[in-house]
Amino acid sequence: MENVETAGHSAAPQGMGRTAGFPTVQPLQGFMGAAVTGLDLSKPLDDSARDAIMNALVEHHILVFPNQNLTKDEQYAYTERFGEVEGHVVRGLDGVKSPQVHMVSNLDLDGNPTKTPATSGNFFWHTDKSYHDIPSLATLLHAKQIPPKGGSTQFANIANAYDELPDVMKDRIQGLRAVHSWEANRDNTFNRPATDEEKAERPPVSHPIVRTHPDSGRKVLYVGIHTSHIEGMPVAEGRELLYRLLDFATQPRFVHTHHWREGELVMWDNRCLMHRATGDFEMDKHARVLHRTVIRGTVPY
């Protein structure tokens, strides 16, 4: 549902002086997610705090940092402490490629809320950048403007979903690989077709349907709206299986809904979660504006 802003950034140095502090991690109610307090993310993050945050991310999958007020440069600097900041293939309303720190919103080119944003891709279940040969580790969204009601983000735990698959289905999908692409994303989400430039930048890649989380070792169902078909299987049969797995993985018992508050920064693990935005607010009346960064991960196996 989110349009993009084309302003760039200049990476803020870590520098010296006062550090961000050390995190206090409090699990949220439910089966995943934790609130992280005791940090000012606009300040440099030392190694011990960074490592504690990464350990909490692996354990809880979703981390909520309340009451932050970051510039784009500060968000970039924080994100960079965890790895390479990923670029984006998506273009804005003006056709310009999005910068590494970009705005996701329901605003039009004049800055007004609209019911018809440039893309509806975020309404569909996906893991970020699965159409890359090296998909993302984590995504960070920093809430700048939030509607008074609605506009949530939902997360599906694809590790729990794999655990509960019937053994016969686990046996069926073991060793299978799905093809992911930006072109498939555009087609599956009813958006404008991918341009030749975008196809060349992000050609199709294949990843295992059953992925191993590189830190926890858990098996996950690596599916979502970026997939087009299964290698070595008739297209129609493969798509039917992919949608069956997607439906299974997004049952309510695997889903957590995050209700945004302004100033929050939310960081989540794309290696064990799918997510989607909800459009359950008056998009033509209220702005929903968040700043987004993505951390590059590792090759799925």
Residue 51 lies in a domain: yes
| CATH number of the domain encompassing residue 190 | 3.60.130.10
Residue 112 lies in a domain: yes
Q: Could you give the angle at the alpha carbon of 145 between the alpha carbons of 139 and 146, nearest 5°?
A: 85
Domain, as residue range, for 54: 3-296
**Strand duo 136-145 + 102-105: pairing:** unpaired
Residue 16 lies in a domain: yes
Residue 96 lies in a domain: yes
Residue 301 lies in a domain: no
Residue-level pLDDT at 191 = 86
DSSP 182-203: HHHHHHHTT-PPPPHHHHHHS-
Residue-level pLDDT at 5 = 34
249 by DSSP, 3-state: which?
helix
Q: Could you give the angle at the alpha carbon of 186 between the alpha carbons of 245 and 288, nearest 5°?
A: 90
DSSP label at residue 44: P
pLDDT digits (tens, 9 = 90+) for 214-236: 999 999 999 999 999 999 999 99
Residue 69 lies in a domain: yes
Asked if residues 135 and 207 have their Cβ atoms less than 8 Å apart, the reply is yes
The pTM is what?
Answer: 0.90
Regions in the chain scoring below 70 on pLDDT: 1-17, 90-98, 118-119
Contacts by residues 10-15 (CB-CB < 8 Å, ≥ 24 positions apart)? 10/73, 11/73, 11/76, 11/77, 11/80, 12/71, 12/73, 12/74, 12/76, 12/77, 13/77, 14/44, 14/45, 14/77, 14/81, 15/44
Which ranges of the chain would DSSP assign to H, the alpha helix? Answer: 47-60, 72-80, 158-163, 167-173, 182-188, 196-201, 235-249
Which ranges of 202-234 would DSSP assign to H, the alpha helix? Answer: none
The closest alpha carbon to 256, from 31, 59, 25, 26, belongs to 31
pLDDT digits (tens, 9 = 90+) for 22-47: 999 999 988 999 999 999 999 999 99
Query: How many structural domains are present in the chain?
Result: 1
Residue 199 lies in a domain: yes
Residue 113 lies in a domain: yes
